[in-house]
Amino acid sequence: MQRWKPVEVLIHKDVRKDPVVLSIRNNLRDVRVDVVESGLPQDVMAASRTLGVRTSLFNTITEGKKVLYVGPPGDVVDDFSIPDGRMVCPHFARLKLASNGCFYRCDWCYLKGTYRANRPYITAHVEYPRIEQQLQGRLRNSPEPILFNAGELADSLSMDHVMKAAEHFISWFGRQKKGYLLLLTKSDNVDHILHLPHNRQTIVAWSMNAPAVSRQFEKGAPSFQRRLEAARKVQEAGYDVRIRLDPIVPVDGWQEIYADAIRDIYAAIEPERVTLGTLRFEEQFYHIRKTIVSEALLRHMETMAPMFTPQPVRMKNRKTTTKSGKYSFSHEERAAIFKFAVKRYESTLRRPRLRCARNPQPSGKRLISICPGAGAFVSLVTRICPKRAGANHYILAWRKESHGTTGRSGLPVAIRPSCSAIQPFSKPLTRGAYGPEPGQRDRRKAERNAGGE
C-alpha cells in the first residue's frame, strides 16, 4: 500500500541533525527538503515553494497538507481547557507531537478554521528526548495518573511512517506507571505498532463514521472497513481500543446507516468506550463556512444555531465575553440522535457475540457508564481499566448549567471528574435518575411559593 509523503519538507535549522530528521531525509530522497532559519509562520510560508503563491483560502488549506515543517518542540505538553465553563469533562493533558498534523481532507475538520491561511502546512516536532523531559516534569508534579491526548491537533498514526513519533512514545509510555498515551486516528497505518512493548499504557481510538457519510465527507481517509480492520489488529495486539462515531450527520436514512455501522463495529471489535458526537462547529469556522466546506455540508450547516448563549467570563484579569459556543442542530434533534444511537449500541452490546477463534467466550456486554459532555458528545463505557483509575473515570451527576442539553431528553447532563469512584450505570436512563434535573429545584420552589400564597 502506498503511504503518504509530502511534496516539500522544511526543516528548522536547530533540528537539522536530529535523528528523526536524518531518517526523514533518508526515506524521502525524492522530496525537496530545505532548511529554514526560523519557525515563524511568515518565514515558513515565505520559504515554501508550494505555498508561496496565495490563492483561495480553500486551495491554500488543501495545498498546505502537502507541506511538512519540522521544528523543535517548544511547549508541547499542556492542559486543555476552555475558559467559558462549557467543558464538563475532566480537563485532559495534551501532547502536541504535531499541529495541523493531518493530510486527510475531511469537510468538517476544525483544523481548517484554526490554522487557515496563516499556518496551512503540517507542523511536526522532533527532539523526542526533550519531549520526554516535559512529560516527566508533568508526571512528577501530579499525584494522579494522567492521560496525554496526542490526537487533539493531529491524526496520531497517519504520518508515523515519516515521523515515527507514535512508535517512539508508545514504547516510552510502556515504561511508565502513571502516564497513559491516547492516540486518535482515522488511519490504518498500524503494522509497525503491533509488536511494540506498549504494556497497556497506550489507548488507540478510531474516529469512524457510517460508510456512506465517510465516503462523501472524509476525503482521503481510509474507508470504514480499513479502519475497522486496523482497530481489530491493534486490539488483537493487546491495546485498549476506543471508537468515536463522530460526527453523526443526519443524512437521509441516517438511522439505518448508523445502526449498521454500530452493528459492524461491535461485530469486529470490543471497544472499551464508544463516543458519539453530532455535527458541530466552532463559531469562527461557522462564519467562514461558505469559503471552506462543500455544498453538501453547507446544506446541513444552514439549519444550525448556537448551542447555548454566550457567557461572560473573566480571562486574565479582564472581563470579556467569550465565544458563543458551538453551532449545531437543535436540542431536540441532537437528543433524538443521541437517544437513537445509545439505544442501538445498548441492544447490540446485549446480544451475545458469536463464538469464533477471536472470541472463544461468547458474551453479551452491558454499558457501565454514560458520560455526556456539554451536549456535544456522549461517551458510552463498557469496561473500566483498573490501571487507569483517576486518569479518566467519572461520577455521573446532574449539573445545573446544562448548556441546554438534557432534562427534556432524559440523558444525564454532565459528569464530574473523580479520582477514586465510579458510579456504575445500571438502570435504564430515566428522567431524574441521577439527581434533580436542571430547573427541577426552581420548579419545586415556585410550586412551594405558589402554595404559600
Site for ligand SF4 in 12-51 (CB under 6 A): none
Q: Does 415 interact with ligand SF4 (rule: CB under 6 A)?
A: no
Candidate residues 186, 198, 300, 403; the one interacting with ligand SF4 per rule CB under 6 A: 186
Give the helix, strand, coil percentages of the chain, each rounded to 5: 35, 20, 45
- Using the CB atoms, write b or e for 92-125: b if 16+ within 10 Å: bbbbbbbbbbbbbebbbbebbbebbbebbbbbbb
Judged by CB under 6 A, the stretch of 98-106, 166-174, 332-340, 391-399 that binds ligand SF4 is 98-106
Q: Which of 205, 148, 144 is nearest to 173 (CA)?
A: 148
The set of residues, in sequence order, having a beta carbon less than 8 Å from that of 423 and lying 6+ positions away, is 369, 395, 396
Check binding of 326 to ligand SF4 (CB under 6 A).
no
Residue carrying the nine cell digits 465510579: 422
Is 155 a binding residue for ligand SF4 by CB under 6 A? The answer is: yes
Which CB, 20 or 122, lies closer to ligand SF4?
122
The amino acid occupying position 97 is L
**Considering only residues 111, 245, 248, 259, which one is a binding residue for ligand SF4 as defined by CB under 6 A?**
111
Asked if 188 touches ligand SF4 (CB under 6 A), the answer is: no
Q: Which is nearer to ligand SF4, 106 or 165 (CB)?
A: 106
Q: Which stretch binds ligand SF4 (CB under 6 A): 21-29, 73-81, 103-111, 209-217?
A: 103-111
Which part of the chain contacts ligand SF4 (CB under 6 A), choosing from 20-28, 99-107, 208-216, 301-309?
Answer: 99-107
Q: What angle do CA 245, 101, 93 make, to 5 degrees?
A: 70
Contact 9, 32 (CB under 8 A): yes
Largest CA distance in the chain: 85
Among residues 10, 221, 259, 414, the one that binds ligand SF4 under rule CB under 6 A? 221
In whole angstroms, how close is the CB of 283 to ligand SF4 at the nearest point?
Answer: 18
Per rule CB under 6 A, is residue 262 in the interface with ligand SF4? no
> Residue 39's closest CA among 16, 58, 66, 56?
16
Q: Compare residues 139 and 193 and give the one whose CB is closer to ligand SF4.
A: 193
Amino acid letter, residue 337: I
As measured in angstroms, the least distance from the Cβ of 102 to ligand SF4 is 3
CB of 190 or CB of 429, closer to ligand SF4: 190
> Measured between alpha carbons, how far is residue 259 from residues 69, 190, 266, 268, 330 in Å?
41, 27, 11, 15, 22
Stretch that binds ligand SF4, among 102-110, 293-301, 307-315, 342-350 (CB under 6 A): 102-110
Min CB(61)–ligand SF4 separation in Å? 10
429 touches ligand SF4 by CB under 6 A? no
Q: Does 122 bind ligand SF4 (CB under 6 A)?
A: no
Binding part of the chain for ligand SF4, among 76-84, 101-109, 351-359, 373-381 by CB under 6 A, reads 101-109
Rg of the chain (C-alpha set): 23
> Binding of ligand SF4 at residue 213 (CB under 6 A)?
no
Question: How open is the CA angle 115-110-224, to the nearest 5 degrees?
Answer: 130
**Residue at grid coordinates 496565495:** 54
The CB-of-448 to ligand SF4 minimum distance in angstroms stands at: 50
Q: Are 203 and 239 in contact (CB under 8 A)?
A: yes
Q: Which is closer to ligand SF4, CB of 15 or CB of 301?
A: 301
**How far is residue 319's CA from residue 321's CA, in Å, rounded to a whole number?**
7
Complex with ligand SF4: residue 186 or 388, whichever CB lies closer: 186
Decide the pairing of beta strands 202-208 and 240-248: parallel
Q: Which is nearer to ligand SF4, 155 or 272 (CB)?
A: 155
Q: Could you tell me the smallest distance in angstroms from the CB atom of residue 420 to ligand SF4?
A: 34
The set of cell numbers assigned to 145 is: 495518573
d(CA 138, CA 391) in angstroms, rounded, equals 14
CA distance 134 to 152: 18
Q: Which is nearer to ligand SF4, 156 or 201 (CB)?
A: 156
Q: How far is the CB of 109 from ligand SF4 (least distance, A)?
A: 3
User: 312-315 and 305-306 as β-strands: parallel, antiparallel, unpaired?
Assistant: unpaired
Decide if residue 231 touches ligand SF4 (CB under 6 A). Answer: no
Among 36, 68, 98, 109, binds ligand SF4 (CB under 6 A): 109
102 binds ligand SF4 (CB under 6 A): yes
Q: Which amino acid is at 163?
A: M
Question: 67-71 and 8-12: which strand pairing?
Answer: parallel
Q: Which residues bind ligand SF4 (CB under 6 A)?
A: 102, 104-106, 109, 111, 155, 186, 221
